[in-house]
Amino acid sequence: MIYTLSFFASVLDVTINIIIFLLVLSLVICIHELGHLFFAKRAGILCHEYSFGMGPRLWSIKKGETRYSIRAIPFGGFVSMAGEELEAEVVKVGERIGLVLDDKQNISKIVLNIKDKRYPEMIETLVEDFDLSDVDNLNINGLKVNEKAMYVYPKDEMQIAPKGRRFNDKSKGNRFLTTFGGPLMNFVLAFLIYLVIGLFAGVADKESTVIGGISENLPADQVLYEGDKIISINGVNVDSWVEGENSVVEQLSLGVNEYVFVIERNGQELVKTIQPMHFFFNLGFSIDGKSESLIISQPLYINTELMSGDKVISIDGQTFNTLDDLIVFAENYADGSSEENPTTIVVERDGQSLTFTYKAYSQEVLETQGYDIYFKRLGIESSTKFSFFGSFGTASSNFLGAGTSIFSTLRLLFASDEVGIRDLSGFVGIFSLVRQASSQGLIALFSFIALLSVNLGILNLLPIPALDGGRIVFIGYEAITKRKPNQKVENLLHTAVFFLLLGLMIYVTYHDILRLFGLK
């Protein structure tokens, strides 16, 4: 029974996280498509449909010219614009079609299947001549066609798109705004999320020395508490959290392995001694400052043979007598190692000496992810306060940080041997990150949504065919040369690169799965 309950709890957890993942990804993609829709409508481009999700249509409502729908697979979304791709003629000379006339004897529906029984009043005709492009002369066999007439398919309808209503008929400026609108909305979404987080969670109170939060499983946990006021650190009175030499941050940055706090709690002064946790991100493990024998507290790399409790004996042949020796070694190990020339570590586990090899990341790679090669933490956070303008500053800083991170990663991808395509995250990797973020609370989850939205916006602006950036390049080419590129060639490039990107996504997802199951 216990096993059964545990199994169902695990299945429920995975199911909930899959739903969260699908909703997160769909939100970011649908906001992106909403940007395209907004600027397309503003430019007068005919938009057939805006959909949340993919696959069969579950529900829809038509407002104006556009059908808004929810589809069966809650994964992504799209906006269908007239003339965005090269379109074949729907009506052709020599074909038999059905025509439905309105009260003014103008064609209101063009029934493509003459066996369609839904319109008994339709007139069956052989197409001899037609013009469905010139808005001033829309006709089939001389009969005037309403400019909002519908093509009737067996299971759907679609409004005709005369010249002037299609994407490619619009000015370069309108086409640019319509294309750029998707990434722009991703940036707006990210900034608004960061702003709301700042407004609700508050911004750091730099002038206070009151502790606002304690991180679990770090040295300060169960020693210091939220609401404790720090009076002094190692004998130095502190008067702010960040500003000046007598700040909490300044005193914690000093190169010591033990901190003596004098705090005020419930009107009483107490003395607390804490040894920090030492994080060696370039070496792939952390060590508790309480340990005199260099015992690994936690491995930091996902796929590693190191375990908590391992005692570090040597790295690349160098032995260590003290924690300070290891710190000096780590700080001088800024270049990391490679798969061809890996790091070799010797540890003691259960009385046995074990040797492992692994790839250690360089300072350059770690900095793109916001990490130093070495740092120490106690696990205390400053208190927060409400600040409207401060929230804007924090939102701007977080937004720029997210953008800088993706550019740094792209630079490493093309300029460094340490990071390759197989190190990127696909849908499985994003699912793992969403699951991790959701387990840390709403703020962490929404922060990740903002980061994902910035990433999607920037990646879509890369000058690659099939992406928004590629389409903008073609618009730029037209602006410079004063002539439109061959639409058949452009569409062929978009299609070919789309399938290449699809193959890349499959490749990346394959490596995601290997990482997920510890096979890589």
Rounded distance between C-alpha atoms, residue 198 and residue 394, angstroms: 7
Domains 205-270+380-384 and 277-362 share a fold: yes
Looking up tokens 């005369």 gives 162
C-alpha distances in Å from residue 269, one per residue of 241, 246, 247, 262? 19, 19, 19, 7
The CATH topology of domain 277-362 is Pdz3 Domain (2.30.42)
pLDDT per residue of the chain (520 residues) written in tens, 0 to 9: 445 666 666 777 778 878 888 888 889 999 999 999 999 999 999 999 999 888 899 999 999 999 999 998 877 788 999 988 767 789 999 999 999 999 999 999 999 999 988 998 999 999 999 999 998 999 999 999 999 999 999 888 999 999 989 999 999 999 999 999 999 999 999 999 999 999 998 888 888 999 999 988 899 999 999 999 999 999 999 999 988 889 999 999 887 889 999 999 999 999 999 999 999 999 999 998 877 789 999 898 766 789 999 999 999 999 998 898 999 999 999 988 887 889 999 999 999 999 999 888 888 888 877 788 998 999 999 999 888 888 999 999 999 988 888 887 777 777 666 666 666 666 556 666 676 777 778 888 999 999 999 999 999 999 999 899 999 999 999 999 999 888 888 888 988 998 898 888 888 777 777 766 665 5
Rounded distance between C-alpha atoms, residue 313 and residue 438, angstroms: 37
Rounded distance between C-alpha atoms, residue 254 and residue 379, angstroms: 16
Contact between 284 and 316 under an 8 Å Cβ cutoff? The reply is no
Contacts 24+ apart (CB under 8 A), 314-323: 314/345, 314/346, 315/283, 315/343, 315/344, 315/345, 315/346, 316/343, 316/344, 317/344, 320/294, 323/257, 323/278, 323/287, 323/289, 323/291, 323/294
Question: Model pTM?
Answer: 0.82
Secondary structure (3-state) at 80: strand
CB atoms < 10 A from the CB of 201, how many?
15
Q: Where are the domains of the chain?
A: 2-85, 96-160, 205-270+380-384, 277-362, 386-516
- Give the burial class of 511: count Cβ atoms within 10 A of its Cβ; 0-12 exposed, 13-18 middle, 19 or more buried: buried
Secondary structure (3-state) at 500: helix
Rounded distance between C-alpha atoms, residue 57 and residue 461, angstroms: 30
Give the sign of the dihedral formed by CA 12, CA 17, CA 22, CA 24.
positive
The CATH topology of domain 205-270+380-384 is Pdz3 Domain (2.30.42)
